[in-house]
Amino acid sequence: MKWRDVKAGELGKKQIGRRLALAGWAATRRDHGGLVFIDLRDESGLAQLVINPERAPEAAKIAHGVRNEFVLRAEGEVAARAAEAVNPNLPTGEVELQVDELEIVSRSEALPFQLDEENVDEGLRLRYRYLDLRREQMQRNLRLSATVVGAIRRFMDDEGFIDVWTPNMSKATPEGARDFLVPVRLQPGRFFALMQSPQLFKQTLMVSGFGRYYQIATCFRDEDLRADRQFEFRQLDLEISFPTRDDVFEALEGSVTASFEALGREAPARPFRRLTWQEAMSRYGSDKPDLRFGLELHDATEVTRGSEFKVFSGAASVQYLTVPQELSRAELASLEELAKEWGGKGLAYLVFDEQGEVRSPIAKFLSEEELEAVRPETPGATVLFGADSPGTVARVLSAVRNHLGRELGLIDESRNEFLWVTDFPLFEWDEDGQRWTFSHHPFTGVRPGDEDLIESDPGAALSQAYDLVWNGWELGSGSIRIHDPEVQKRIFRAMGISDEDAEERFGFLLEVLRMGAPPHGGFALGIERFVALLAGERNIREVVAFPKAASGSEPLTGAPTPIAQEVLAELGIQVLPQKD
């Protein structure tokens, strides 16, 4: 027996008069006492079944017992719907199946939520993910994800990139997160790390002569979960030998374009815009600015050096942005709260009314020159200040900028702003460890000409790292790498890693680099972030089939779970007693 002759979503006028079988889930059932209507759903869409007791008394009896999400098989005749019953919102809405035989193939217990219910609690959705995935939104998102990954693969294959699988369990790769560790039964007391990225393997593949590598690689990072972060995620990971930075950019821009086209959308204009890190920070206070709106930052550090207002004169950096309207006291108070959440001490402001008069508790402390320097071109505006260390000012004003962009409706949602941010600093100062650490990863190339700064002024050295940003989301990072083992050692030293430590942790890399390493560089694009944005979702959980909840657990399976003593003993592991 064939389960079905066509899919539900394929039913149409051309089949009128034919006897066909359909199989799928009962999405809704309307029991009119006599006639029963069932919307039957499968992967292709919905079709209406009509069960008429006069035509099929046995089927009608069965139909009365059908509940939502039962699996059914129905056989009958395709018929045109009466004019008043045509549903123009449904692709199959002109026809229905007049059922002769109905079979309940499989039953469903009472549902924890209805699939067409809005705003179902996310905990419940994740606990019953298999039901949640039947919903239209999730069906659409996972299909979109598959379309995008397929398009990227085709593009990369066509461009001569070789898909190479690299280990998921190996030696730790520093990407700024903690490692998930895997014990090894054959060597108790030793652990593999789940790879934070295939970084060192892809560099090795360049030394091995592959020229162009890519992989849709799963990466594992133990860090707090957020809207754009899961413990495991996929990257379009790629590496190129003898590259210019533009070669890398072209591969990424091509992948993005191919994805848009595969979805039938207009691709963003190329080449993508570029800003140096320095410019992005000074104009937007962020290394991932949303360029769909203005509200740029301006500097007032110099002009306020001698200010009577001590908050300004005593701050290492004073920056401001001009909101093109007079904000109310309540709005200003809530912005101040936001500033505090982001580590600011407050949020000084000046409101310039339509007459150009200033309203502000701090106005009396500012000189005419200071006021004139920040006076908006058009009156009826509010100037918001950040005054603190440069890092804090940037963080606070960038958060305020993003907030206002959304709240004041300044964001043009129809725009797609892709941006390359380049020339990142090579190092960052790690307050906790009181040492320099990498800002991208330790294998990132130094900007030509900045090599001497590695020792003399690490904070001033720039790198050959770049990020790709889309509408304020960081899609991924990459760099031209270090291919000279001596430079690589100097970078380790600058980060306080002794030659001995470097040998122990990265000895294999240093050896690889000593064996004829070509110049190389690459990138990794976060697939889930990219897909989430393409799907119009704000959380990557919405495009992941079985994501972890914010707590880090997997509600469907109940993982992570304790492990039996004997198993742990075999691995040489003893678990310390846990609080609670």
431-436 contacts, C-beta under 8 A, 24 or more apart: 433/496, 435/495, 435/496, 436/494, 436/495, 436/496
- Cα dihedral sign, 440-442-448-453: positive
175 binds ligand ASP (CB under 6 A): yes
Supply the minimum distance, in Å, between the C-beta of residue 421 and ligand ASP. Answer: 14
Q: Write out the binding residues for ligand ASP, residues 524-543 only, by CB under 6 A.
A: 524
* Closest distance to ligand ASP from the beta carbon of 318 (Å): 34
285 versus 478: smaller Cβ distance to ligand ASP:
478
CA distances from 255 to 141, 443, 531, 548 (A): 19, 24, 12, 28
Rounded to a whole number of angstroms, the minimum distance from the CB of residue 66 to ligand ASP is 50
Residue 174 C-beta: closest distance to ligand ASP, Å: 10
Piece of 79-87, 111-119, 407-415, 516-524 that binds ligand ASP (CB under 6 A): 516-524
522 forms part of the interface with ligand ASP (CB under 6 A): yes
Contact set for ligand ASP, span 462-501 (CB under 6 A): 477-479
Interface of this chain with ligand ASP, residues 186 to 215, rule: CB under 6 A: 197, 199
C-alpha pair distances (Å), 72 with each of 6, 69, 108, 304: 14, 9, 11, 75
Say how far apart CA 135 and CA 119 lie, in whole Å. 12
Choices 367-375, 500-508, 521-529, 567-575; region in contact with ligand ASP by CB under 6 A: 521-529
Least separation in angstroms between residue 210's CB and ligand ASP is 15
CB-nearer residue toward ligand ASP: 121 or 163:
163
- Using CA atoms in the order 348, 353, 359, 364, what is the torsion angle rounded to 10 degrees? 90
Tokens (6 digits) for 350: 């000046």
* Shortest Å distance, C-beta 199 to ligand ASP: 4
Using CB under 6 A, pick the residue from 72, 523, 528, 555 that binds ligand ASP: 523
CA 417 – CA 542 distance, rounded (Å):
22
Does 442 participate in binding ligand ASP (rule CB under 6 A)? no
Per-residue x/- track, 52-91, ligand ASP (CB under 6 A): ----------------------------------------
Q: Which of residues 248-277 bind ligand ASP (CB under 6 A)?
A: none
Cβ 512 to ligand ASP, closest distance in Å? 16
3-state helix, strand, coil in the chain (%, to 5): 30, 25, 40
Q: Tell me the C-alpha to C-alpha distance, in Å, between residue 98 and each of 22, 54, 162, 357.
A: 11, 11, 53, 75
* Whole-angstrom distance, CA of residue 212 vs CA of residue 518: 12
Least distance to ligand ASP, CB of residue 218, Å: 12
Handedness of CA 50, 52, 56, 61 (dihedral sign): positive
User: Which of helix, strand or coil describes residue 52?
Assistant: coil
Task: Give the footprint of ligand ASP on residues 14-33 (CB under 6 A).
Answer: none
- Cα gap 440→475, rounded to integer Å: 14
Tell me whether residue 92 or residue 196 sits nearer to ligand ASP (CB atom): 196
Residues that bind ligand ASP (CB under 6 A): 175, 197, 199, 441, 477-479, 522-524
